[in-house]
Chain A
Amino acid sequence: MATQAADKPVNETAPEAVVVRFAGDSGDGMQLTGGQFTLSTALAGNDLATFPDFPAEIRAPQGTLFGVSAFQINFGSREINTAGDAPDVLVAMNPAALKVNLESLKPGGLIIIDTGEFSKRNLDKAKYDISPLEDDSLAKWEVLAFDISALTIEAVKPFGLGNKDALRSKNMWTLGLALWMFDRERAPIEEWLKSKFKSKPEIADANIAALNAGHAYGETAELSGPLKQLHVDPIESKPGLYRTINGAEAISLGLVAGAQLAELPMFFGGYPITPASAILHHLARLKEFGVTTFQAEDEIAAICASIGASYAGQLGVTSSSGPGIALKTEAMGLAIMTELPLVIVNSQRGGPSTGLPTKTEQSDLYQAVYGRNGDAPMPVVSCSSPGDAFECAIEACRIATQYMTPVMLLTDGYIANASEPWPVPDPSTFTPFPTKFMEGKGADEELLPYKRDAKGARPWIKPGTPDLMHRIGGIEKAVDSGHIDYGSENHQVMTDARMNKVLGIDVPDQEVSLGEASGKLAVVGWGSTFGPIRRAVDNARGKGLDVSHIHVRHIWPLPGNLGDLLKSYDKILVPEMNTGQFKTVLRDQFLVDAQPLTKTSGQPFTIAELEAAIEGALA
């Protein structure tokens, strides 16, 4: 997504894009295989998008349907916006992986099967009465079935591993085959294996042997059967330095950059929760950037410690996922009332309650915008892709420190785990927003900790500053002085001041992501639906349909021009992975006839679903 699309493919005979899905047992190392295949694909110069899809259980019972872990990658010589609707190639490491993933495979697609795992026991666990290899249930696909398990054991024999350990290299054997299929370099993977198993060189060697054996199998098997080597040309990208990045890492880096631009040390309070923990893990390794990470006793303590750190003059950041965000709610109110900067990252997942911990959803929008007691306005920024998450994190830090307010940064499980090529930004191009603390006052001047500047923000006064002692808290504050004040008139003034401060935030005007500034249909999205909407709108426009894509980053306050922009289209369609939350906000704010397109299956929208909806809306 980050790379620029070429006008047409360079090589007319090569496929423009290919979708591969690696699926196996959650202990089979499919996420590692996918991650390394992603790296080699990026290094080969393709644009790409990935979708890791794994169970909530760390080690679900082996061979079961619910224990299947999959990693899908879409890569190509043209701009790639999604992980792909339907795989061209499915690698199924056991019967359960085959059963769970078969349905999505393209007709005529290739299935690579490890027959070594198709025992009676595993077939039973996958609820197959008859082996699918023995009936005609796979007839509409090409099938390449062979004993990967045995071939792996054979390949790693010289290293003297037991069968159990030897079979652990199965994923590398499979990766070797995939690398051959798509004409990829093995050297970077070998280097990675050597560094990963630095202390156990024999394991590294066994894995490399498996990788090479898989690759060699491709070469020798090419002459017969359905296995063909495919070369996907690199995409023509803007010149520059690239790397792959996933959303969790991008947010972590964006927070580090944001704290630097604010010229503040960062305090990150977190509590383990899927899929938000990755941000804590990344930041815990970046202490040299003035980062303190604190794993608190619970979600509430995580946000409260961050508020304490902000009060003491650092940039407080906390992060969680839906249920954890719910626990932090009261403390968000405290940050709003005491008008302290704070960034709250919400990696959304399927809800309510524990919901679908490892699946993606966008159902915390109401929670972000409205979900607090009292009139508690809080800015909300949402990320649309891993690369965009970097910029959004900086934006959240800017708003928090410049306006003295907590800010919620919305991402989701899909963005957190998905990878894409990322043009490495040059920090010297970023605009700094240095923090100014109040350092003193005139001798006869009254200290006014709640006196607002032109932006509506109160001064930030660090404890320890001589002679600026004052008290803050969750009880309503008197205008300017900040003393306790329950007065009715004062509460009216302060409620308005808090609201107007947030509404007055300098949010950039909304641009049209793709298409025209008026017309028959606007598809309005937010968050991780960017990829599929972009691709679907592009496809529809290719068919001559009058449709444009608008993708909103600033959920609250909304861009000032958004209302007028939306009113310039005949119809508005709002696809989102919830039951229509943003649609409701748009209707409320602009009195427009926004129509919902909703999905809550824990899976991202497919391009086909969106294209159908666009065509339906324009029919």
Chain B
Amino acid sequence: MQVEKFSYDNQIVKQFMIASVVFAIVGMLVGLIIAVQLYVPELNFGIQYLTFGRIRPLHTNAVIFAFIGNIMFAGVYYSLQRVCKARMWNDKLSQFHFWGWQLIILAAAITLPLGITTSKEYAELEWPIDLMIAVVWLSFGANMFGTILKRREKHIYVAVWFYIATFVTITVLHVVNSIELPVSLFKSYSVYAGVQDALVQWWYGHNAVAFFLTTPFLGLMYYFLPKAANRPVYSYRLSILHFWALIFIYIWAGPHHLLYSALPDWAQSLGTVFSIMLIAPSWGGMLNGLLTLRGAWDRVRDNPILKFMVVAVTAYGMATFEGPMLSLKSVNAISHFTDWTIAHVHIGALGWNGMLSFGILYWMIPKMWGTELYSKKLANSHFWISTLGIVFYAVPMYWAGIAQSLMWKQFTPLGVLQYPNFLETTLQIIPMYIIRSFGGLLYFAGMFMLVYNLIKTAKAGKFIKNEEAEAAPYEKDADKFKRGMIHRWLEKRPVKFALLALVVVLIGGLVELVPTFLIKSNIPTIAAVKPYSPLELQGRDIYIREGCVSCHSQLVRPFRSETERYGEYSKAGEYVYDHPFLWGSKRTGPDLAREGNKYPNVWHYLHMEDPRQMSPGSIMPRFPWLLTQTLDISTTPAKINAMRSLGVPYEIGYENFANQDLQKQADVITQDLIKNGIPAEPDKDIIALIAYLQRLGTDIKVNQATIK
């Protein structure tokens, strides 16, 4: 038989690996800083670029797209070449992909602290960066399909299906969720508003977790776990079944992020049902991973790589059981907006993604440098410190989440809220925040053990830039197997495979989203709800810039405990002019949906200057720069025009007078502040922010009769 000689490109794998480790350290450091900021608000050193609201998205983006994204690409580039028995299709494209991705990360690291954000979670980057992401992501897909098409191995291994599903679905999600109307180079508004925007965002957010943090990592698990254990995967049948079931079901479950919100009931229920169903394929994957080690558990004892992988797969199993439980309405009523969610996502991120990444790094680097791991003992220590870190992180967060939620809901025998002051419930859980940051510190410290160990390993060996390999060319003859033709036919045809995966994913997406687009024409309009005034609109953009949505929701759920605390529950019709929606997902501070007219202007002014002046013990950062920075009103006409083209009924030509109205409203607020002894100036950021906060939720108070 004629055998071809070729080589695998290890260089690109090395680059992605190094980037991943560097950004893991950066991302975790930022995470640690914001964790401490929750009990030491001064830790932003009074610098606006380091406030919680601005660097919290930096943390999530760095961990998801820089740390986990880069290791995912490293693992895909390593395993894809080997299971296809072919070098990557195009080395230059690989390099373009690598440098393009790092450029995106750099752009994120600059823009997010500057407050340039769309405010949509995990999709915060502004439109020029969104375009870059699309181009770079397509280059990855082109390279992957190029490699699959020129492969020598006839059949496509299950890991590669997961990679294909990842590529196809992330492309769809990114495009749909990023449709926005640019106002300037660094500012855009989501074309969707209110309820519609919320549904699209959480359809995206949920499936970004599914197809960026789950499917590619299952693919990596199917390659690296058998490699590390040196035995085949437990059941190939199960892998096929759970692959199709997983990608089909996942896409439907997005609405479980919006339970008890203004979203239609049937969509909420659909999200719940599919979330429960999701346990089956998720656990199929977990069991397939764990059972691969059947009869080889003794090896786990002395192999740190397997230890990392076992904890990773176990964490995956825990998180994918917890997720469906959280999507039950009764559980969600307690967990939503609390630290429970934070605990849940960190079981996934630290446990599943982190531990699997470390296992893969410890496995790949000795292989690529042709040597043995420098210190097994150190890797074992890293394993234990990370595992302890996860425990110290998650347990206090569960505790904090449940405790705070119960306090929010507690009534006295007389029927009034037992803890009417939100801050009181926050102060109760500060000790938990302290323990959590200790857990984070342990996990972070483990990173340095990993770096030292891997550098020492690399130094002991010699990097194999191009790994020689040989295989026979692809023989295009008839299928030699007897039964199960259809699936093999499919998996020999990657393009058709990708199209089928796309169809499977789109069914769920369309059934979920199409009615939402219909909502727009069916939404009950509330006559009293009017567009924001120009000053309020500017104030809203300051709210977005400062990342207030990281800690404050704008959605009162229909519970007595919430209507007592905040006021009338939120109606879908109240959000029709909200591009983007700002419902938030976490209440570190109280809900603001009915904040308007609750406090006088002077309260807000002093509260922004130093929250502890008004609420002793508050953990909110100070925003003194809002008092001194001048509001940029040159953008007002462009913003009014943009909003009008998105359907907000500003009269034609209003953009020419908008700034006059803005100044009039600013003068009224300033006069009120001056009357109360504050030497305020009308042209500062704070005036716009106060105008926005005082408007929140007031429309339906104006005329109760117009509310349905």
A interacts with B: no
